[in-house]
Structure 1
Amino acid sequence: SIDAVVLGKARALQDRKHGSEPRRVLPVLLHGDAAFCGQGVVAEVLNLSRLKGYTTGGTIHIIINNQIGFTTAARDARSSLFPTDVAKALPVPIFHVNGDDPEAFVYAADLALKFRQTFGGDCVLDVFCYRRHGHNETDEPSFTHPYMYRLIKDHPSVGAIYGRYCAETSVVSEQEQASITQKYVEALKQALQRERAEPVTSISTGQGPEWDQIERRYPCEGADTKVAESTLRDIGRQILEVPDGFHVHRTLARILSRKKKAFEEDSFVDWSLAESLAFGSLLKEGIPVRLSGEDSVRGTFSQRHLTWWDVESEQPSHHTPLKALASGQTKLALFDSPLSEYSVLGFEYGYSLVSPNALVVWEAQFGDFVNGAQVVIDNYIASAESKWDRSSGLVLLLPHGSEGQGPDHSSAHLERFLQLAADNNIQICNVTTPAQYFHVLRRQVKMSCRKPLIIMTPKSLLRHPKVISPVADLADGGFEQILDDSCDRDQVRRVLLCSGKVYYDLLARREETQRTDSAIVRVEMLYP
């Protein structure tokens, strides 16, 4: 499961430190033979390798081919001859190397590195060897592979084979080898004695200098997420204006015209415009923004439209307004991902580990699809801080709600995240206004700490007539964990607590029945 995380970290380092020179950061992945052909994330990661949003300029994959899984034989583990045959889907070299020949392995590894540095592509090294003992200290492999392990028992080790070769070729005599071995063993013993004699010192587990100013404790106080109204209006004007000579889709032209009128004349913003203003304001403040996910640039529900396409150009021509706010502005990275949740969420999580001062966002096409990335959520997002002292500020946008697209496109499984919540490890929100969404996004990089943020995002509310916010609510105030009702408190006999879209259903029912004795209070943050 670590494969995509490693690649995300490598890409973040390349983006931050080396720009267009990815060769200075080299990701290396170590696989078992059973895992390389059996784990689907390997194929997903291979597919990412040549995509502009996820390439790292080549990854070196090393397979320790023990010819066995835990106890599963190769004949039961794969349909192909080699475990590396899954990589044949891509134009990458695959080197099969005898694990008993160290010099051959070094030669192949050097060749793989030179290929990667020259052509910027993945390379695969299949080290054909064996596992002398069981899968762990208590395992007995001869139960299921008696003949194989009888051969292994009598087979000399790599060191013995290479030592004999060195002696036969007069490189190092057997006596010299014995002396070297003895000196090395003695050095290890002395090092162990020194360590046992000295007091135990703590080992730094820091994530790097970029994290030095980031606290680990979840703050009780809020964060300043306000943006001057003049700045918001300047951003809004730029991102709603179609450049001269550029021909947007006629439906998009109507959408932009409607948004522009509401923004400039009525001073209201809808959900997607609030999001764009959050992104734009962060970019103006020098904070990079990265968004990826299936169909995320346009938005699953045609709500976002961060990139426009010229419908009259014979050659693909596009315009991304948020990338044209100012010359030399901070980087905005927008990518439509492949149809893969596991690898892409893992990649973005890895990216966030190296980028505490960037807003890194992954969006599911539908919230239900987060199912495909549950391993990343359980193993990393929810638990990495307690297991390995690794913090992340990754944002997950999960469209949530039973609104006409069937049982498999309705629930982001909010209950699973609530079950995983403990010790302030994650943040879970179900916000109901564009202003709240604006502030919670900005809050993610303005807080003193970094915690993963899971947002249940809306569907029908994206175009609901009541789901609008005054521009003043973006310019002032901040994120509110609870939104109180504005009704006459003296008449209230019942308080309804709710979260998300159901608020507008309750509000419509209250208006229909003209009830004045019920207050509807919205819980916008469910955890912490």
Structure 2
Amino acid sequence: MAHRGRLNVLSNVVRKPNESIFNEFSGIEPSDEGTGDVKYHLGMNYDRPTPSGKHVHLSLAANPAHLEAVDPVVLGKTRALQHYANDEKEHHRSMALLLHGDAAFAAQGVVYETMGFHDLPNYTTGGTVHLIVNNQIGFTTDPRFARSTPYCSDVAKVVNAPIFHVNGDDVEAVNFVCQLAAEWRQTFKKDVVVDIARAKAINEGQGIDWPTAEGLALGSLLLEGKHVRLSGQDVERGTFSQRHAVLHDQVNETQYVPLNDLRPYQAKFSVCNSSLSEFGVLGFEYGYSLVNPNSLVLWEAQFGDFINNAQCIIDQFIASGETKWLQRTGLVVLLPHGYDGQGPEHSSGRLERFLQLCNDHPYVYPPPEKMARQHQDCNVQIINVTTPANYFHVLRRQIHRDFRKPLIAFTSKSLLRHPMARSSLAEMTGDTTFMRYIPDPHPETLASPEKITRHILCSGQVYYALLRAREQNKMDHVAISRLEQICPFPYDLLSQHIDKYPNAELIWAQEEPLNGGAWTYVAPRIRTLMNHSKRHEGKTAKPATRLPSASPATGNKKQHIQEEHDLLSQALIGQIIEPKKVVSGVPVWE
């Protein structure tokens, strides 16, 4: 089953003690046995007594937030249980039960693939009972824009499974149909689907300078006659309630798109809540972007973590399409990314994987003629910006150049409303442009450049955590600079700046683990850069990161905070030191 409603199932179906659930809400101490996960991803096994006095073994599989990804896992586990119980022919003693959301069931390809196991001799489990929790909306996407069939359950017709539609508000009817479905499966050993439909409901209630900067960028391009298309799951409102590109009349359901009402002769703004698909929709938007180079086509993931569902489109088309087929695209991929304590499924867009696809040479310092052509020669651009103004400029830059390259933009969730992540209008007008590298402004509170002993390079939202910790601990010997564009690597700007601090040790700080993030990409390039500097030849940068990890992030809030304090002390002090106190979320070491 998905994560929504799982705590209810854990408590009331598999009888996980409520004390354990409440303890997870309050936070538990970090464990030496793993990184953990958020409470609504966890599974459990339980032997539940029945009114007849018998016991039924219930096994709720742990799952990620990648919807429906656990489906084949459940079937594989069921088949294994049947094998070890000598039940592979009768399929009488073990049964798979899958709970789906309506939008995911209709859109996720793995549902169709899992249905395909239905009658394969080596994969069948003797039928699966599918329960669709159908609230007739996919997060914020109306069914009309989420599927092309009348019912979300229509995909089950490929295996001729009976489909029961039942009113979710009629408890007795739901109980009757679910019993009927179980009897069908047990009698005929075939899949069966129960579509539990309820009245349409919004299932989640979810300054604004960052979204305003985006609106200004898109609106200004529309006024210049450039068509803009923004697609993805819940992009009309924005996953984090930040965009509100479409206003809905709650009385008559009419829609109003402000960006389509700027001037009579502007270009069209298409904002499209997509079906709950990454692979298919990203491929569609890539194809859309190929037709007109003077249009800005953007696809936004609900969370950056879900981009791996579209890895084939990234690898085979976006990263290599120009090299293989001379097929250029200016597609923009927006990936919400950042370590905010939301667990391994809502933290990382896998920056390291995109950087691994970049074709620039890490050990060759570009000569002047190559430096001027970095953007033309690269296969993909990768950014992790920290200011609304830079986000504004990089979107406009996609259209205002005479060539097209894909742009992968890692966008912070916490900076959407962060009081320090603000830009003035002056930073977006006049001769202002996108800043690939933002050096430390070196305020008066810092020591003179010769007395700076640590120069920290970073990218993305970790900058503000470092900045607050530096200010709270009154560290006047530490400079912090930002790499806003990671690829192509801005050798020209960094080479002009790192010699400003001749006695400083260079540190790379990132939120991600050592085996993730940008470190493996920037490390050899920083070494190449330093070997061409006047004051740092032969030196290397040191990393300040989370420890290497198989999972991108911990699901334990206390462990998340501890890891953040550790990497901040690594970056600012040079070693891991426990803070003596924490002031407004900022560690204080003195």
| The structure with more helix, counted as a fraction of residues | 1
Identify which of structures 1 and 2 has the higher relative contact order when contacts are C-alpha pairs closer than 8 Å and 6+ apart: 1
State the TM-score, normalized to the length of structure 2.
0.45
Report the structure number with the largest CA radius of gyration.
1
